[in-house]
Amino acid sequence: MPGPASWIHRTRELAFTPPLNPDNLYGHLVATAVPGVEEWHDGAYRRTLALPGGPGIVALPPPVGRTVVATLHLSDPADEDEAVRLARRILDLDADPHAVDAVLCADDVLRPLVERSPGRRVPGNPDPDEFAVRAVLGQQVSTAAARTHAARLVRARGTPLPAPSGSSLTHLFPSAHELTALRDEELGMPASRKRTLHGLVAALADGSVDLRADLVTARHDLGALRGIGPWTVDSVAMRALGDPDAFLPADLGIRVAARDLGLPERDRDLVARAEVWRPYRAYATQYLWSALDHAVNTMPG
């Protein structure tokens, strides 16, 4: 594995269609960042990447004009285009904010939120398997607790890497195969969630759940696992599978925002009300979260 001096450095300008509101995008990524894998450092969101040719690191500062200037640290120069693809997914740079905001502005409740801060994106994750594990770790616990659980797995089972000087990035997030060796005593969580996590990583490792399959199949197979409910499925679909219409009516933050905005609070009623937000309910979720006083809405630094 390369040492810091042998990283291959590349800079790429990532273009996007404005507007792009960075607050919830970078705020969410940093508020939920897993220590050792993600960080806010030197004015940029940074994270490790498992690339075909070896480990990599991407640094993504806030946009300037119509571009994000990404810095890539690569083991293999052949991985440059793949690292760029994953960086674009993380920041949702291929979204069409005009199409999204036009649909959501047609709703009287969402219109003020959209007009106040147009161009909200869905914070992404470069690895669906990683995010599925993180979603299970985050079931019914706080953001801070989910980060603690994930950091423990990273230290115990992640692949170490030497990071560039001055960085706290230390590991790749462990793969599903690596996590199949987890023992119950390594997991500080209820027995039911331990069973869910073991079942998930086994299914990901043996291919019975393939989150890189088509969206319908991936959602169905993930949801068929014991302990995986709609909140987990839609969280993974939204953050890691690129589903623009994923929706989280059972999310506590969504329920609070719905109550404060005069929307239905019951899941079934809110789902019915959200029909007018199709096919962009994942973006409606970002606007609903923006109505809350939470760290995910605050631009780091």
pLDDT over 70 for what percent of the chain? 97
pLDDT over 90 for what percent of the chain? 90
Query: CA 143, CA 135: separation in Å to the nearest integer?
Result: 11
Residue-level pLDDT at 239: 97
Place of tokens 């009287």: 108
Q: What is the pLDDT of residues 248-262, one digit of tens each?
A: 999 999 999 999 999
Residue-level pLDDT at 140: 85
| Residues belonging to the chain | 301
Residue-level pLDDT at 235: 97
For residue 252, CA distances in Å to 7, 135, 197, 265, 288 come to 42, 15, 22, 10, 11
- Residue 166's pLDDT band, with cuts at 50, 70 and 90, is low
Mean local confidence (pLDDT), 151-177: 88
Ordered domains of the chain (ranges, CATH) = 4-97 (3.30.310.20)
Residue 68: strand pairing partners: 14
Place of tokens 């170490």: 160
Residues 6+ apart with CB under 8 A from 7: 57, 73, 74, 75, 164
Q: What is the pLDDT of residues 204-260, one digit of tens each?
A: 999 999 999 999 999 999 999 999 999 999 999 999 999 999 999 999 999 999 999
Structure tokens at 164: 């560039």
Q: Decide: helix, strand or coil at residue 238.
A: helix
Burial category of 245 from C-beta neighbours within 10 Å (exposed 0-12, middle 13-18, buried 19 and up)? middle
Query: CA 154, CA 172: separation in Å to the nearest integer?
Result: 7
Q: What is the pLDDT of residues 25-45, one digit of tens each?
A: 999 999 999 999 999 999 999
Number of helical H runs and strand E runs in the chain: 13, 7
- Residue 167's pLDDT band, with cuts at 50, 70 and 90, is confident
Question: For residue 39, which amino acid is it?
Answer: E
- 50 in Cβ contact with 79 (< 8 Å): no
pLDDT over 50 (residue 66)? yes
